[in-house]
Amino acid sequence: WKRRSSVIPLVIDTDTAQDDCVALLVGLLDPAADLVGITMVAGNVGFDQQVKNAQITLAVAGRSGEVPIYLGCRRPLVREWVSAENVHGDGSGGLSMDEEGLEVSAEHGVDALIRLAAENPGTLRIVAIGPLTNIATALVKDPDFVANVGELYIMGGSNNGRGNITAAAEYNFYVDPEAAKAVFAAGFDITVIPWDQLTLRDAVFSREQLAEIAAIGTPLSSFFTRMVDATLAFDESVGIPGSTHPDSLTAAVLLHPELVTAHARYAVDIETGSDLTRGYSAMSWGVHELEPNARVIESVDAAGFFALIRDVLSHSMTPSRSISGL
Ligand code: BDR
Ligand code: CA
């Protein structure tokens, strides 16, 4: 992959909490990105709290009201919602903000995805960092959606490795396995950023690195530090030596493909029939006579990724409004 030469129009489809917020900051502040919309999907924490977290993130980045937030599906396709509040708390480190005058778009998130892809055929990139409910619904609703989407970057699954919500499954695919299965079967140009081994090896920030970020001293770095605390405690309690950043890595890899040090084509499918392995991602590496349907990122330049996040958090813009607790 080569360095990208132009600004990339993208939508971030998110269950906004913690690292989703960091991914939004990458989309908002990296000069390689033109973030045209944020679509909300049921996932990490309560839906309305996720919207609050997205509004706080826009405010900290000094961009309140500038990027539309579209509310998408409030529950998975066929299953009950499963929260990850035990991992993320409220998802924005207990911060709060007066939201007076801040609005969300009247257009549904699924319709926004369909429209934005149709308006930018072949060039819109979608960074999907929550359960895939909105993406699956869009492809069912509009037969042209798959062809209109330029590339779909998905955070989810594990590449023949450990899950996180169960031994077998990573959270995003576990929450809506039917959606994930439909998306991988649909014919998108897909890139996958998995949990294991990629995130666990290349996107964990150690306490030393987190201290380096805290020392930056911008409102953005304070926001990051507040937000990461809850996840850090959880991650350390399960033996991970730092905070995990799969969602911001997904945005970073789209914008800066030169970070990728190994990738390969795989045939990816998702388990929907079993209780034990619900949401398991079978990633076949080319020896099982299956047609590949996705590029899976196998390793990235971890130091380069950390440097990118540190640079994003070093921007010193003034927040759009005051955020209590920051
Ligand atoms: C994924 O689940 C969520 O908790 C994170 O935001 C990330 O998208 C990791 O399994
Ligand atoms: Ca997420």
Establish whether residue 235 lines the binding site of ligand 1, counting it when its CB lies within 6 angstroms of any ligand atom.
Answer: no
Best of 12, 13, 15 for a ligand 1 pocket test (most atoms within 8 Å of beta carbon): 15
User: What is the C-alpha to C-alpha distance for residues 234 and 217, in angstroms, rounded to an integer?
Assistant: 25
How far is the centre of ligand 1, averaged over its atoms, from the C-alpha of 289 (Å)?
31
Which pLDDT belongs to residue 86? 86
- Give, using CA atoms, the residue closest to atom 10 of ligand 1: 171
Half-sphere exposure of 235 (CA within 13 A, CB side): 23
Which pLDDT belongs to residue 1? 56
Establish whether residue 171 lines the binding site of ligand 1, counting it when its CB lies within 6 angstroms of any ligand atom.
Answer: yes
Best of 13, 26, 132, 171 for a ligand 1 pocket test (most atoms within 8 Å of beta carbon): 171
Residue ranges of the chain with per-residue pLDDT less than 70? 1-5
Which pLDDT belongs to residue 4? 66
Torsion of CA 187, 189, 191, 192, to 10 degrees: -10
Nearest to 181 by CA among 126, 139, 127: 139
Establish whether residue 20 lines the binding site of ligand 1, counting it when its CB lies within 6 angstroms of any ligand atom.
Answer: yes
Give the nearest ligand 1 atom to 17 CA. Answer: 6
Give the nearest ligand 1 atom to 130 CA. Answer: 8
Query: Which residues are close to ligand 2, an ion, with C-beta < 5 A?
Result: 15, 20, 129-130, 247
Q: What is the pTM of this model?
A: 0.97
Q: Is 228 left (phi over 0), alpha (psi -120 to 50) or beta?
A: alpha
Which pLDDT belongs to residue 6? 85
Geometric angle at alpha carbon 138, from 190 and 72, rounded to 5°: 105
Nearest to 151 by CA among 296, 10, 259, 258: 10
Rounded (to 5) percent helix, strand, coil in the chain: 40, 20, 40
Establish whether residue 164 lines the binding site of ligand 1, counting it when its CB lies within 6 angstroms of any ligand atom.
Answer: yes
- Give, using CA atoms, the residue closest to atom 9 of ligand 1: 171
Nearest to 227 by CA among 325, 84, 86: 325
**β-strands 294-300, 260-270 pairing:** antiparallel
How far is the centre of ligand 2, averaged over its atoms, from the C-alpha of 35 (Å)?
17
Nearest to 87 by CA among 242, 279, 240, 233: 233
How far is the centre of ligand 2, averaged over its atoms, from the C-alpha of 276 (Å)?
23
State the CB neighbour count (10 A cutoff) for residue 291: 7
How far is the centre of ligand 2, averaged over its atoms, from the C-alpha of 286 (Å)?
28
Nearest to 270 by CA among 73, 77, 127, 16: 77
User: What is the C-alpha to C-alpha distance for residues 113 and 183, in angstroms, rounded to an integer?
Assistant: 14
Residue at 278: amino acid letter? R
